[in-house]
Amino acid sequence: MTTNGNHKDDFVLPADDNDFQTFRDLCKDGEGWTNCYKKKNITVETKGSSDSNIKLLRARATFDDVSAATIFDVVHDTTYRKKWDKDMIDMTEICKICVNNTVSYYAVKCPTPVKPRDCLFLSSWLVTPHVRDAKEYIMINRSVSHKAYPPRKDMVRAISLNTGYLIIPTGPNSVDFTYISQFDPRGSLPKWVVNRVSQIFTPKVMRQIHKAAKKYPAWKNKHDPNFKPWIRPEQCRLKPPVPGELSSRYDMVEIVDELNVSEVKEESPASDDDDFLY
């Protein structure tokens, strides 16, 4: 195993204003995108990248029955995510760099029979003034490595190059929601997997987040309603990393060839409209 990364040193630095602005511009960029999915209020587009052979994927949606603040809570609340993210295998918050930069581990199921992927990443977020006392919410992440979370034999360690959300309120209970992903699965995947991610998996996640957001206020009222460390940093229980255990150089594992894997139709797949338990 070797390590690599886009940083000149081995320190994990928090995202700065330029990082957030670059991501914001990418969300609003109108040039060079190819539409690959459009249904109702959700569109998915792809675009080539000048600095990587991994394409960018952008999903955009408009919701008229939830607030931007609630969407922001839903994408942050790890406990609640276990209720609605049906593809998640594990998610663990590990440590904090500062009040709005934390390191987490996430593992996710892939379409059968492709091997599951996991990722270790620095998550950074920002709430900025927008218009008429509303807020603009940004959350971005990129891969890092941690000595306590080395690559696992039963999963492929994927790499997040440029992933995140932009959440812009359009009213008290309406929002424009954009998701960007530049994600290296570290494998040679068959075309049907790539198509499923862009045409099925990503829109499904957008719909799940929307549905989860509609149920979040009622759920949160029953589950530690005042605990929101992503907006109340004094509540954060995470500790800083021990010197030497965290690195900006993400783990580079052997590329797995799954080109010959055939698609398997899953029995009785869960519907996007299925309720999850409280």
Q: Please write the tens of the pLDDT for every residue from 199-237.
A: 788 899 999 999 999 999 999 999 999 999 999 999 999
The mean pLDDT value for 120-148 works out to: 88
Q: Please write the tens of the pLDDT for every residue from 143-200.
A: 999 999 999 989 989 999 999 999 999 999 999 999 999 988 887 776 676 667 777 8
Query: Does residue 192 fall inside a structural domain?
Result: yes
Segment among 103-117, 134-148, 262-276 with least mean pLDDT: 262-276
Question: Can you give the CATH number for the domain in which 99 is found?
Answer: 3.30.530.20
Q: Which of 74, 77, 121 is nearest to 229 (CA)?
A: 77
* Alpha-carbon dihedral 183, 189, 191, 193, rounded to 10 degrees: -70
pLDDT score for 130: 61
* DSSP label of 206: H
Residue 146 host element (H or E): strand 145-146
Query: Does residue 260 fall inside a structural domain?
Result: no
Q: What share of the chain in percent tops pLDDT 90?
A: 65
Q: Give the chain's end-to-end CA distance (angstroms, integer).
A: 41
CA angle 85, 276, 77 (to 5 degrees): 45
Q: Which residue has the higher pLDDT, 6 or 126?
A: 126
**Residue 110: half-sphere exposure toward Cβ, Cα within 13 Å:** 23
Cα–Cα distance measured from residue 213 to residue 247, given in angstroms and rounded to the nearest whole number:
34
Query: Does residue 244 fall inside a structural domain?
Result: yes
pLDDT score for 134: 64
Q: Is the separation of the CB atoms in 174 and 63 below 8 Å?
A: yes
* Total-model pTM: 0.86
Q: Give the chain's domain count.
A: 1
Range of the domain at 147: 2-252
* Local structure of 3: helix, strand or coil: strand
Query: Does residue 274 fall inside a structural domain?
Result: no
Q: Is the separation of the CB atoms in 125 and 138 below 8 Å?
A: yes
Q: Which residue has the higher pLDDT, 268 or 166?
A: 166
* DSSP label of 180: E
